[in-house]
């Protein structure tokens, strides 16, 4: 029977582990840290950071996260049951999980007898033993211990008795949540329901208070549907990835699941309380992964609430419910009337409030910002991963952006004198600060680095605090392949000081010019924020 009562569910995100298994999806340690903090702000309950037993990048991430503070989310390390040939004490995978020092550990084990025979090449009883022993060994080291029953649905269809037996041993081992995995992504909703109901009956027979989770892959385009069905049946934890990234066809898309369970199913979780941050979170993941955002994606796509013309536009202007299943602002998105200049005003006003900028909704300034934003977006600018640039844009529009320096000119020269040695780069820059012209030269590892060094060299005499600024990430995306090497590029720069991190953006046909735009915004933002902090102290 499908349950309609209000319940609290847990959101478990595996973008940083399962998501990175998607083709062309790559994240640095810095990217993963930034995404973790964004997930924490959104209210994701559990963030799976990686598999420390198999990936050095994951080890580095977990070490770095030991210095970071999460206010709501709990970090999870992921791994497998021990090798049958090892004891728990001598199993490198289990030891790596413990050394990650996360409050949560999630391990997976085999539920399908064919995997036990063909992949592990051990006896069925031996597999049950390593499930129980691995969990029991890890139990004292964590606050929460989850068990992912890999290939559970396929295993149940072939050998239900053994699949259930594997869950029984996980219960004995101390797992508090049994996550049923559709690892191959082939299940259809009508197949999922009777299997979950049989598992619930089995757990009741064990007289256990263990909860259930669902982990669906999307190879049949049913991952979201299967996840929502499982939640409606009383499953307490849903696992997935932001924007549905994952191996092959991806995982269950949390950007679709969270609004569905919160807005439509009326279930409760922290991410539902902060659901207006969903759009910017989804966009940030794409921007840091250096991938184009799927504009047609449900809820968080730019086209999700876009109306082009005719009957739709006329009806939506009178009553948006005529062609929209939810209000776009609920998930942080905006309505876009593609033949109108009204698109974007609500988003601009939302950002203005966040930045402490007072703009009246009927003010011509709001309209001018929307118009400028549309023009810049047509040029290739995007601000989801570059809020510092967007804040500067808004302050310029209201006449409140301070002027710290003026560029008079710059030049970058690359030279390669020996084919066995890296090229040399020299940048020359002329700036005017308070009526004084400064001319500096600097060497660097490439033209962008050289220009950055030259600019800092010129400005730190006037603004010593710039020595604190560190450029921590630099990404380039080609915006159009039609012009080949003459295509526009978008440069995203991530900077930080002792107080915060911020992102800036530049777009140009020339990669150096685009980089310069982003660098200038980064410096201006730093100087502005320092000025604001000093003013608040006084």
Helix/strand/coil (H/E/C) assignment for every residue in 389-418: HHHHHHHHHCCCCCCCCEEEEEEEEEECCC
Q: Which regions of the chain are under pLDDT 50? A: 1-4, 339-343
Q: Is residue 295 part of a domain?
A: no
SS3 416: coil
What is the C-alpha to C-alpha distance for residues 272 and 281, in angstroms, rounded to an integer? 13
Q: Is residue 480 part of a domain?
A: yes
Residue 342 pLDDT: 43
pLDDT digits (tens, 9 = 90+) for 351-400: 788 788 888 878 888 888 888 888 888 888 888 778 899 899 989 988 88
Q: What is the domain-level CATH number for residue 49? A: 3.20.20.70
66 plus 206 within the same structural domain: yes
Residue 361 pLDDT: 77
Q: Name the residue with tokens 């302050």.
A: 395
Report if pTM > 0.85.
Answer: no
Q: DSSP characters for 136-186?
A: HHHGGG-SEEEEEEETHHHHHHH-HHHHHHHHHHHHHHT-SEEEEEETT--
| Spacing of C-alpha 235 from chain mean position | 24
What are the angstrom distances between the C-alpha of 63 and each of 68, 99, 138, 157, 492? Answer: 10, 9, 19, 41, 26
CA atoms within 13 A on the CB side of 3: 14
CB-count exposure of residue 354 (10 Å: 0-12, 13-18, 19+): exposed
23 plus 169 within the same structural domain: yes
Residue 313 pLDDT: 56
Q: Is residue 217 part of a domain?
A: yes
273: left (phi over 0), alpha (psi -120 to 50) or beta: alpha
Q: Is residue 39 part of a domain?
A: yes
Q: What six digits make up the tokens of 225?
A: 């549907």
Residue 33 pLDDT: 96
Q: Is residue 518 part of a domain?
A: yes
Pairing of the two strands 177-182 and 144-150: parallel
Nearest to 45, CA basis, from 17, 77, 76: 76
Nearest to 23, CA basis, from 312, 252, 289, 326: 289
Q: Is residue 158 part of a domain?
A: yes
Tell me, what DSSP letter sits at residue 62?
H
Total of domains in the chain: 2
Last residue within a domain, chosen from 251, 267, 288? 288
Q: What is the domain-level CATH number for residue 477? A: 3.30.160.270
Last residue within a domain, chosen from 241, 260, 288? 288
Cβ-based neighbours of 297, under 8 Å, separated by 6 or more: 243, 253, 255, 256, 282, 304
Residue 3 pLDDT: 47
Q: Are 171 and 179 in contact (CB under 8 A)?
A: no
Last residue within a domain, chosen from 224, 257, 288? 288
Q: Are 331 and 324 in contact (CB under 8 A)?
A: no
Nearest to 145, CA basis, from 135, 157, 155, 156: 135
The residue ranges of DSSP E strands in 416-498, in sequence order, are: 424-433, 436-444, 470-478, 489-496
What is the domain extent for residue 121? Answer: 10-288
Nearest to 403, CA basis, from 240, 259, 520, 241: 520
Q: Is residue 243 part of a domain?
A: yes
Residue 68: what are its φ and ψ, rounded to 5°?
-100, 155
pLDDT digits (tens, 9 = 90+) for 521-537: 999 999 999 999 888 87
195 plus 67 within the same structural domain: yes
User: What angle do helix axes 92-99 and 124-138 make, rounded to 10 degrees?
Assistant: 20
**Alpha-carbon torsion, ordered 380, 386, 393, 40, to 10 deg:** 140
What is the C-alpha to C-alpha distance for residues 12 and 146, in angstroms, rounded to an integer? 11
CA atoms within 13 A on the CB side of 359: 30
Q: Which residues are paired to 442 by β-bridges?
A: 427
Q: Is residue 300 part of a domain?
A: no
| Spacing of C-alpha 177 from chain mean position | 24
């Amino acid at each position: 029977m499908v349950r309609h009562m209000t319940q609290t569910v847990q959101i478990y995100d595996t973008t940083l582990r399962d998501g990175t298994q998607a083709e062309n999806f790559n994240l640095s340690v810095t990217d993963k840290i930034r995404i973790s903090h964004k997930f924490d702000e959104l209210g994701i309950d559990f963030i799976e950071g990686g598999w420390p037993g198999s990936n050095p990048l994951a080890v580095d991430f977990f070490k770095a996260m030991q210095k970071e503070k999460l206010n709501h989310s709990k970090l999870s390390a992921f791994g497998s049951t021990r090798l049958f040939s090892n004891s728990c004490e001598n199993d490198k995978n289990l030891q790596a999980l413990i050394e990650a020092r996360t409050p949560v550990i999630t391990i997976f084990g085999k539920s399908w007898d064919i995997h036990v025979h063909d992949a592990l090449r051990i006896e069925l009883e031996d597999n049950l033993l390593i499930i129980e022993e691995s969990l029991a060994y890890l139990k004292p080291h964590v606050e929460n211990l989850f068990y992912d029953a890999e290939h559970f649905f396929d295993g149940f269809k072939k050998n239900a008795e053994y699949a259930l037996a594997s869950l029984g041993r996980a219960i004995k081992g101390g797992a508090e949540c049994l996550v049923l995995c559709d690892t191959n992504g082939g299940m259809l909703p009508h197949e999922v329901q009777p299997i979950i109901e049989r598992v619930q009956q089995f757990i009741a027979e064990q007289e256990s208070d263990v909860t259930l989770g669902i982990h669906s892959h999307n190879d049949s385009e049913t991952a979201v549907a299967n996840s929502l069905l499982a939640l409606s049946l009383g499953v307490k934890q849903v696992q997935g990835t932001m924007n549905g990234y994952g191996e092959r066809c991806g995982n269950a898309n949390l950007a679709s699941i969270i609004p569905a369970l919160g807005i439509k199913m009326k279930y409760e979780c922290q991410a539902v309380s902060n659901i207006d941050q969903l759009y910017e979170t989804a966009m940030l993941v794409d921007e840091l992964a250096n991938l184009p955002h799927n504009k047609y994606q449900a809820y968080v796509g730019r086209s999700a609430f876009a109306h082009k013309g005719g009957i739709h536009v006329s009806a939506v202007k009178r009553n948006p419910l005529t062609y929209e299943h939810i209000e776009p602002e609920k998930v942080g998105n905006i309505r876009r009337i593609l033949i109108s200049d009204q698109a974007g005003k609500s988003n601009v006003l939302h950002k203005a409030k966040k930045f402490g900028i007072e703009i009246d909704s009927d003010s011509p300034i709001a309209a001018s910002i929307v118009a400028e934003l549309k023009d810049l977006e047509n040029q290739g600018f995007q601000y989801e991963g570059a809020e510092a640039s967007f804040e500067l844009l808004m302050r310029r529009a209201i006449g409140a952006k301070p002027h710290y320096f003026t560029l008079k000119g710059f030049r970058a020269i690359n030279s390669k004198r020996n084919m066995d040695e890296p090229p040399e780069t020299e940048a020359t820059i002329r700036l005017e600060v308070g009526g004084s012209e400064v001319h500096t030269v600097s060497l660097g590892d490439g033209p962008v680095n050289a220009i950055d060094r030259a600019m800092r060299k010129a400005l730190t005499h006037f603004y010593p605090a710039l020595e604190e600024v560190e450029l921590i990430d630099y990404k380039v995306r080609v915006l159009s392949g039609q012009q080949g090497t003459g295509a526009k590029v978008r440069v995203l720069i991530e900077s930080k000081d002792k107080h915060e991190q911020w992102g800036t953006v530049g777009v140009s046909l020339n990669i150096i010019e685009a980089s310069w735009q982003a660098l200038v915004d980064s410096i201006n933002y730093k100087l502005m924020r320092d000025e604001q902090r000093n003013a608040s102290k006084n």
